[in-house]
Structure 1
Amino acid sequence: MTTIESRCNDAENRQRRSNLLFFGIADDSEEDWAKSEEKVINFCSQKLGLQKTGAQFDRVHRLGRYKEGSNRPVIVKFTFFKDKQEVLLSARKLKGTTFSISEDFLLATRQKRKKLYDFAKTQNVKFYLAVDSLRIDKKTYVIDSATNEVVLSTR
């Protein structure tokens, strides 16, 4: 990956910083952005115990086309980063349910995170994923762009 590509990806991920993806929220063919927003507000209240209003969202909409029998993810751009963080931290309450919430990253970043996550799981220790790097025992691991392998960061 070139430096320019890397910088573009970094800029794109920073733009997505206030976004969250909600999975498992019931979908219907007549749903518009206002209904999506209402569903997210109700979801935050009922499933997460958080009181949110539409004023805390810049944008709320479904991704992709409607398909009978499946629930499209809902992407939410929060007005304030701290509101996004509050919802993301509360997402732990969804463990063991059919619902989930995740951060919005580029495909390339999601692929790196998957590889880092798989590596971390083999280590059988506590770890922390930060955008496109992995922290284990005060050591930082990244994906080497030349080999596409997990390596210890030299930074």
Structure 2
Amino acid sequence: MAREKPPAAPEGKVVLLSGGNPQIAKADGDAPVQAYIAAMPGWKRACGERIDALVVQTVPGVRKAVRWNSPFYGVEGEGWFLSFHVLTRYVKVTFFAGTSLLPLPPGATERSKDARWIDIYEGDAVDEGQLADWIRQAAALPGWKP
């Protein structure tokens, strides 16, 4: 059975997929990442802005792109080290080589392989020092190359 295409958004509007995740076309650079963040609904926008700022501050020259309707962050020639994604009640921040980070980020399943993540809910007190440390560690590792 063929999948139906999501409805087209009015000019200048971004379609929000399930859970409120912005539908942004695959593209490289800061502009598509900023378009994604600008389309994040409610409190999640400020969360996305803070994650983006923390990555930029922690990893000078970070490479940015949107892939699979999510912002990706990487080091040129080394692959992607982090991504985040909007879900219904939280923002999921994924470290692709998360099993190499200390302390381990808490999110994992049996199928996670090397990835680990944190889920940020509205009103959570995020330990930005720990998040920056994980970002710094992740950026120094070989990244994910799809």
Tell me which interval the TM-score lies in, with the shorter structure as reference length.
0.3 to 0.5
Largest Rg, 1 or 2: 1
Q: Relative contact order, CA 8 A, sep 6+: which one is greater?
A: 1
User: If the length of structure 2 is used for normalisation, what is the TM-score?
Assistant: 0.35
User: If the length of structure 1 is used for normalisation, what is the TM-score?
Assistant: 0.34
Query: Hey, which of these two has a bigger chunk of helix by percent?
Result: 1
